[in-house]
Every structure is written in structure tokens, then in C-alpha cells.
Structure 1
Amino acid sequence: MAYLPRLLFLLPFFFASCSLEEDNREQMVNLQQVKDNPEAQLVNLNAAIEQTGSDGSLYARRSVVLLRKGELEQALNDANKAVKLTRNEPSSLFVKAQVLRTMGKPEEALPLALQAERNSYQSSSLYVLLGDLYLQRNDYQQAQAYLNKAQELSPDDEFAFYYKGRVQEATGDTARAMQNYRNALEQAPAFVEAQRELAGLLVAEGDFTAAKPFLASALKAAPKDGVLWYYKGLVQKAEQKPDSALQAFSRAVSLNDTIQGAHYWLGIQQHKLGNNEAAISHLQRAASYKGELKYMTNLASAYERTGQNGLSLATYQRLVEAEPTYTYAYQAISRIKSKLVKPKPDSTAVRQVQIQQ
């Protein structure tokens, strides 16, 4: 769907002097599934750095551990030291690019990842990172090219499948996107982001039965993911469970206030319940729906019910521009205009009558 995924993954790499992994290939690793002990690694790396002080690979390794722990500023500090001490060794650039990407700075991460590639650093992990960074720039062709490179090196890489799905979803090829999300889940059944994306597409297609197992599994692993609660609300709404849907949508926006779909349905439901101030508040946060007739009808009505006749009139006028045959809107416009032109009582005259009495 249309949002940036919260994937927190690690791009493992090999150094000439010491490697982070005992595997013989590079791969993307979901940090939530890493089984080693970051605290123990950190103790060992701190001691090693204290002894040597000038080994850039140790700073790079510690940067990765700090990244796993979510200590991003410290991870960036170590990545900077690694780049300086190794004189732009590509694996150090790779680590710094990943830290910057995780910090939400893709424009700073991209040049470093490209420099690592130019310096002959080849790995599926690097290509997946580049695919993600180009996806964030909406450069889908370049993103696809790098993801293809990733799969040439690692055909079963679940992250390559996942990001291919993201590219295809963004370009409207939902059938292939769903297949790639399924491919990712075949490789990593607990891959929460793939479950979420697949569930979202299934919900959008109205296949709620197929979506529910993915939603249940993802919510168990990520109960604070607002988007998952939004999808759950849509399923419950389709199942004619308005109270449960209302709770799910409320939970969604409490976790992520930018989910416009949840605000939209909360606004519609609150208007139906007569909570007009709440309806207005939610609908105003769902601007992407403002062209829909149901949105305009409910917002205009809520404005009128709360005495905001000028705003109500303007909204009804937009409604008839969008749907000229909507008879009720014309009636509402006439009614509100009458309210607006009706003369107000002369307060001075009222006071004079009170004095005379």
C-alpha cells in the first residue's frame, strides 16, 4: 500500500580481517529474527576497540550491533569512524548507507550505496538496498533493475521478493505483487511486512477470508502497527461488525495518525452516531477522500449540525459540482442560504424593550 514500510533489516557484509557472519553468502537479515546476543557482541567489540582503537572494521561491526539495538545516532558515529579509518572501503560505505536508510535519510544513503557498488562491492544485500532506495524515489525502473541483480546472486532472497512486490504494487501490477509477497513468505513465513502488504491487497480486492490469517499472524508479531489495525477494521466493517470496526480504526489512528482511510471511516461512523465535532475532526484528516460524494455529504451535514453554515454551504456546492443530479444537495443549499440571509435580531432593540419592562 502507499506508505513507507517500517522494515528494520541488516545488511551483513564481510571484512578482509574478520567477518560478521560465518555464512558463505550475503543475505538480507530480518533484525527481529537475529538469534545472536547484541549485548554480548557489544561488550566484546568495546574491549577490542579499546585495545586497538584504529581498526575500522571493528567500528563497522559495532555500528551494525548498535543498529540492531536501534541506537541509530551511535551507529552512525561508528559508521563514520569506520569509513574514515578504512578510507572509504566499500563494506564500510555499505554499513553507513544502511544506517542512514534506517534513520529515514534515503537521499544521503543512496550516494554511499552507489559508491560501494562502484568500488566493486557486489552482494544481493547491496542490490536490495539500492532497490529500496530507488523505490523511495519512485524510480521504479531502476529499483526493478537492482532487485533483478539481487536475485541473480540470491534467487531465494525474501527481501528481493518483497521489494519486487512493492515495485509492482506501486505500478499497479497487483497480481504479480501478491505473488512476490507469497514468494517472500515461502522463504520467511514470519515476514511481517510481507504479510501486511499481502493482507492489504487482499482486503482491497474484497477477499477478506484470505486476508484474515495474514492479518492475525502479523498483528500477533506487530501489535502496534496502525496499518494492520486499519486493515482489520476494514474486514470487520465488511463483516457487519461496526462496533469492532470502530475500535479497530480508533486503535489504528492512535498508533499512526496519518492513516487517512481510518480517519475517513471514523468520520463517517461518528457522523452516524451524531458526534459531529468528532466527525469533522476525522474527516478533515482524510483529505485524500475529499472528492468522494459520501465524504462531502457527511462533512457538509456535520458542519450544518454544528452551526458552521458557511463551511456547510461551500461543501454542498462542491458536492453538486461533482454530482449535478444530487437533489438533496440542492435542497440543503437552499436551506442553508435561507439561514445565512435571515436577519438577526437587533440587540439594541431587545435591550430597549427589556429596559421599558
Structure 2
Amino acid sequence: MLVVPLLFASCNLKEGNREQMVDLQEVKDDPEAQLKHLTTAIGQSAGDGSLYARRAVVLLRKGQLEEALNDADKAVKLTGNEPSSLFVKAQALRALGRQEEALPLALQAERNSYQSSSLYVLLGELNLQKGQYEQAQMFLIKAQELAPHDEFAFYYKGRVAEATGDTASALKNYRLALQQAPAFMEPMRELSGLLVAQNRFEEARPYINTAQGLAPEDAQLWYFRGTVLQAAQKQDSALVAYGKAVALNDTLTGAHYWLGLQKHKLGENEAAIFHLQKASPAYGGEPKYLSTLASAYERSGQNINALAAYRRLLQVAPNNTYAYQAISRLKNKIAKPRPENTGVQQVQIEQ
């Protein structure tokens, strides 16, 4: 999962004739004041593309993404593809989830000699998302040449390392990101996930706790919390955490798998089937998954589905003697006429 920070360098936009009217230094911490001043300046100098680019940056910070893209479009048209305007537009497109459109604009800004650690971080992120890890790493190194302590560069270097299987480097870079920005949630979350995957639950716990204080509705963090609680044998609390995780993100197959196992143990077979079916993409070939699913089907009277699941179990675990017994039992159940149907037939005959 990629973080979507807003990466801003100092704009270095060409000053328009009336740009001196906008004292952004005085209002830098007040987005509404910035918007008011910039809108006034645009009204007096509508042909100044730098003003639109500046307003786009403020709108991005406020989360008004479509409005930011509109202003960035105007900036690019008015400034003749000035590289800093291209960079602002690339950020707006990336924030809107339109990475394929953002990448060529960011590359064009770089080709036009725009020097900014934020631009290189953006290029690193966009290449990471495309699976172009060497390119991503190259741009992130360039970012750190300009800004050696950039927390986003460390974070994305961690993501590249994790994607390429270099867990030690990933852990190191996530920790370096947090040294620069202790309240940076995303490296906390990724660091938590790696520690949980290595069964280093006590190390992971404080990172999870802190990250959840920053992002209480993050599904992945609830999943990690559930795993830590499960390892501590706090099954009821783990059940709550995993339930919260899938309520926030229904695609978390690990949480669904554990919920399915637990619901089966509790005798809640319909719930077990629901969660196990959700877990199928990641766990569908595992013997424990198949045996639990088959049992839940059989317990709930879905004998044909149970038979199919036991047969799949034998494909992955040919020596599973219980599966052979269950298949024989289920074949007999399916072959026998149902008593209730016989009763209905007898009533009809008597009438």
C-alpha cells in the first residue's frame, strides 16, 4: 500500500507583475488566507500562470484535488510547460490516483532541468508502483543527494527494498524515516508488518500502538494488532481486532482466514464458510484451510460442497486418511434418499 504524501518543493515559479501583492510568507500557515490572497491576485493578473500553480499547491494541501488539477492545468498552459508547473500538475494527478498520467509529466519536469528532492521522490514512488525498482532506486538516490535527510526518500527506499526481498534494508530505511519524522505513520505501519512477519511481536507492538493513534481506521494496523494478540493467546481480543480489520478492508485475506478458523472452532459454521471463502485467493491450496472449509460445509448440511472440498484436500494432501473417510461418509449421505422427501411422497400417495 503506497502512502500519498504531498511532496512540495519551493515553487521557484517566475514572478508575475503583481506577484508582490501576495505575501505568502505572512499567511503560510493559513490556507484560507493564502487562497484569498491568491484568488485576488489572479483576478488582477489572470495571465500569470505562477499564481495558478501556487494556488494549486494550496488546494492540494487542503485536499481539494479536482480544483487543484484545474489550476495546475491553467498554470501549464500559461507558463508554456514551465517545469515547476508540470511538477505541480503531476502531484495533482498522482493525488487523484492517475499515476499513469502523472509519470510522463514528472519526467518532463526532470528533463527540463527542474531540481527538487520532492520531484525525485515523486518519480521514485511512481516507478515503484509500476514495479520498476531500479529506476525507483535511482531517483530516490538523487533525492537524497539534494536532501540527505528526506523522510519520504527513506520511506520509499524501504518500500523498494521490501519489494525486492531485502528485508534488512527495508527495516533500516523505515527506521531512518522515523528518525527524521517520528509521527510519520506509514513507515511505522510497514515496519510493524515486517516485524510481525518475523514473529517479533513485542518489537512490533509499540509501533502498532503509536501508528493506530495516528490512523485509528487503518485496516492493516488492525490486522497486525490481531496477529500480535493472537500470538499472545488473547483470542477474544484478536477476534475483535481481525473483525475490525475486515470491516475496514474486506480484502485482507489473512484476517478472514483466522476468523474462519475461529468461527469454525466456535461452531459458527455459516460465518466460518463466509470468511474462509474470502480467504480463498491466498489460502485456498492449504490443507488446514480445505479441511476446515470441508468440515464447516458438512456441519451445515452442505454435503456436495463438503465433498468437493475434501476432494481438493486429497489433491494437496494425498495421505490424509480422514479425508478418505469423510468422502466415503458423504457419498453415502448424498446417495441416501432424504427422509423428509419420502414422507412427502407417502402423504401424496395416501391422498
TM-score (norm 1): 0.90
From the superposition, tell whether residues 20 and 68 of structure 1 become closer, same or farther in structure 2 (CA, over 3 Å): farther
Residues 113 and 126 in structure 1, CA contact (< 8 A), matched pair in contact too? yes
Quick one: distance in 1 between partners of 2:30 and 2:213? 23
The structure 2 residue matched to 1:187, chosen from 174, 180, 186, is: 180
The structure 2 residue matched to 1:242, chosen from 231, 235, 250, is: 235
Structure 2 stretches lacking a partner, 5+ long: none
Residues 7 and 193 in structure 1, CA contact (< 8 A), matched pair in contact too? no
Residues 7 and 122 in structure 2, CA contact (< 8 A), matched pair in contact too? no
The structure 2 residue matched to 1:8, chosen from 5, 15, 39, is: 5
Quick one: distance in 1 between partners of 2:24 and 2:177? 22
Q: SS of the residue aligned with 2:290?
A: helix
1:320 aligns with 2:318: no
The structure 2 residue matched to 1:351, chosen from 339, 347, 351, is: 347
From the superposition, tell whether residues 313 and 237 of structure 1 become closer, same or farther in structure 2 (CA, over 3 Å): same
Q: Which has the higher contact order (CA 8 A, sep 6+)?
A: 1
Deviations 1:89-130 (A, max 9, x none): 111111111111111111111111111111111211111111
Q: Match of 1:310?
A: 304
Quick one: distance in 1 between partners of 2:37 and 2:256? 48
Q: SS of the residue aligned with 1:267?
A: helix
Deviations 1:255-285 (A, max 9, x none): 2222221111111111211222221221222
1:21 Cα deviation from its structure 2 partner: 8.6
Bigger shift: residues 223-232 or 42-51: 42-51
Q: Match of 2:205?
A: 212
Quick one: distance in 1 between partners of 2:171 and 2:24? 31
Q: Match of 2:89?
A: 96
1:297 aligns with 2:295: no
Residues 7 and 119 in structure 2, CA contact (< 8 A), matched pair in contact too? no
Quick one: distance in 1 between partners of 2:190 and 2:240? 22
Quick one: distance in 1 between partners of 2:273 and 2:38? 55
1:309 Cα deviation from its structure 2 partner: 1.8
Counterpart code for 1:8: P
Tell me the C-alpha RMSD between the 2 structures: 1.9
Q: Match of 1:232?
A: 225
Residues 82 and 92 in structure 1, CA contact (< 8 A), matched pair in contact too? yes
Quick one: distance in 2 between partners of 1:266 and 1:14? 53
Counterpart code for 2:251: T
The structure 2 residue matched to 1:43, chosen from 36, 41, 51, is: 36
Quick one: distance in 2 between partners of 1:329 and 1:61? 67
Quick one: distance in 2 between partners of 1:99 and 1:222? 23
Q: Match of 1:31?
A: none
1:351 Cα deviation from its structure 2 partner: 2.3
The structure 2 residue matched to 1:124, chosen from 117, 132, 136, is: 117
Counterpart code for 1:14: N
Deviations 1:283-313 (A, max 9, x none): 2222212122222122111222222222221
Q: Deviation above 3 Å: which 4+ runs of structure 1? A: 18-22, 344-349
Q: Match of 1:137?
A: 130
1:281 aligns with 2:281: no
Q: Match of 1:30?
A: none
Residues 270 and 279 in structure 1, CA contact (< 8 A), matched pair in contact too? yes
Residues 10 and 64 in structure 1, CA contact (< 8 A), matched pair in contact too? no
1:36 Cα deviation from its structure 2 partner: 1.9
Quick one: distance in 2 between partners of 1:174 and 1:354? 75
Q: Match of 1:32?
A: none
The structure 1 residue matched to 2:143, chosen from 150, 154, 171, is: 150
Quick one: distance in 2 between partners of 1:266 and 1:349? 42
TM-score (norm 2): 0.92
Quick one: distance in 2 between partners of 1:203 and 1:318? 31
Structure 1 stretches lacking a partner, 5+ long: 23-34
Aligned length: 340
Quick one: distance in 2 between partners of 1:180 and 1:20? 38
